[in-house]
Structure 1
Amino acid sequence: MRRSRLSFPNSYNHVMNKGLKGEIIFQNSDLKKKFLELINKNKNRYGIKVIAYCIMQNHFHLIVKNEKGNLSEFMKKIEGDFGLYYRKYIGGKGYVFITRFKSTLIQEDVYLKTAIVYVLLNPVRAEYTKYIDEYPWSSYNEYFSNSNERITDNNFVESIFGNISQLNKYADNFQNTKLQIKHTKFGDILSEEQYIKITEDLSNRRKYCGTSTLRRLKDKKKENVGKIIRKFEREYHISIKNLTGKDDKSREIRANLLCVLREQTFLTYLEIQRIKPFKKLKISSLANIYARLKVR
């Protein structure tokens, strides 16, 4: 039975695959370079933004943004071309990868940060290196550097971590932790429970409506953000532009607004952070505020 895989236009996905029968398919630098070249060569053609990567000895990890909904086509292309190159380089016949690639849908914000450091920490967990920056076949050294040879959207990664110290701190805190992936009938998801419900709804709509209709549904819901905010302002007799105080009442109203935005719109924490009352808060702080409010 084919594995279900969740991916939508503009979704974030953790993608991985490994060599058939545990074969060491990335056994030297030439093979690793070739695989990265294929990723770099084809990413724009298929509308893929690479967020993070790590090429190990017998498997690879990618974090990508599937901007045009072409993730399956992209993976088929790079795995197919690498397979042809590998058989010509090494010899032999047959498949190179064990199966179709595995993909986990990732909720933006904190979950995306967690997935990025999980991928970057693979060489440390496998004891290839002691420190995260010592492994040459991950994207770690593309961030916060002057390198001109980049495959990743380093600016995006730098914007969500802030600086190299925060990235390292996040990695240190996560080093001995596993991803808490949820297995659903629609596919694997790394997210909070609320996002799973939204995703299942999207999957059903995608099945019956098609991608273009799904995009219109999502865009329409985002259009309603202004209406939701105006309704909130009327109920609380405030303007959110003035909701910047540090007193307990202002904090409580901000928290309630955050909860409304999370549960009634498609806005991510990153998008909510652009709204004035939340501009000075970190994404991790927004996630913590929401989590505390939900357990009351």
Structure 2
Amino acid sequence: MSREKRIWIPNRFYHIDCRGNRRDPLFRNATDFHAFLHILDQLHEKTPFEIASYCLMTNHYHLQIRSPEIPFSKLMSLLNKRYANYYNTKYRLTGHVYEKRYYDKVIEDKEGMLAVSRYIHLNPVEAKMVKQPEYYPWSSFYLYRYQSTVPLRFMKMDCLLDYYEGTLEQKREKYCKSLFNK
């Protein structure tokens, strides 16, 4: 039985998540998290895409992402293959790193964009890993919370911040407060 073909709409944001095989850890330590972000950065150099928010949990990750040129099937194949190669080599493993194909859902509108980013950024809080999203180092929330941070090249923060009025600092503050107003 063949799989259903994925639908990709260029320049539309999607919520993508992917889980470790058997819910095993995808990231065992800080080096693994950094390696994943480095792979994203390398892919971004060759393949344009933009991420509005992300969160790397221990056994899965979430991306709020859009790609103007490359279908997600290709982009995710490159990302997951490179990280699986890194992971299996580092931990001297063979076989599947991911449970199954990634989950993807197109984001339809402003409310969807904000709801997905809220879900992604509050994931570590909901999992009781931290009390506040800014305490979790492997999510993009700190980029919104702290103006002095330099975003990674693939981050496209204005996709969320432009929903708010005011200066950049005011937009950041309103965005961060909006996470807790639901």
Do the two structures share a fold, i.e. TM-score over 0.5?
A: yes
- Show CA shifts across 1:253-290 (max 9, x none): xxxxxxxxxxxxxxxxxxxxxxxxxxxxxxxxxxxxxx
Structure with greater helix percent = 1
Whichever residue aligns with residue 164 of structure 1, its letter is R
Equivalent in 161, 166, 173 of residue 174 of structure 2: 166
- Deviation for aligned residue 1:13: 0.4
Aligned residue runs from structure 1 range 1-296, under 5 A: 2-3=3-4, 5-143=6-144, 145-150=147-152, 151-162=154-165, 163-174=171-182
Contact 1:54 1:137 in 2 (8 A): yes
- Separation (CA, whole Å) in 2 of partners of 1:69 and 1:39: 14
C-alpha distance after superposition, 1:199-236 (max 9, x if no partner): xxxxxxxxxxxxxxxxxxxxxxxxxxxxxxxxxxxxxx
The alignment-based identity, stated in percent, is 23
Q: Matches of 1:87 and 1:72 in 2, distance apart?
A: 22
Residue 16 of structure 1: SS of its match in structure 2? strand
Question: What TM-score does the superposition give when structure 2 sets the normalisation length?
Answer: 0.88
TM superposition outliers: structure 1 runs of 4+ over 6 Å: none
Q: For 2:75 and 2:151, how far apart are their aligned partners in 1? A: 21
Pick closer, same or farther for the CA change 1:98–1:173 going to 2, 3 Å.
same
CA deviations on 1:24-79 (whole Å, 9 max, x unpaired) are 11111111111111111112422211111000000000001121142211111110
Unaligned stretches of 5+ in structure 1? 175-296
Q: Separation in 2 of the partners of 1:57 and 1:136?
A: 12
Aligned length: 174
RMSD: 1.7
Secondary structure of the residue aligned to 2:98 is: coil
Unaligned runs of 5+ in 2: 166-170
Larger radius of gyration between Structure 1 and Structure 2: 1
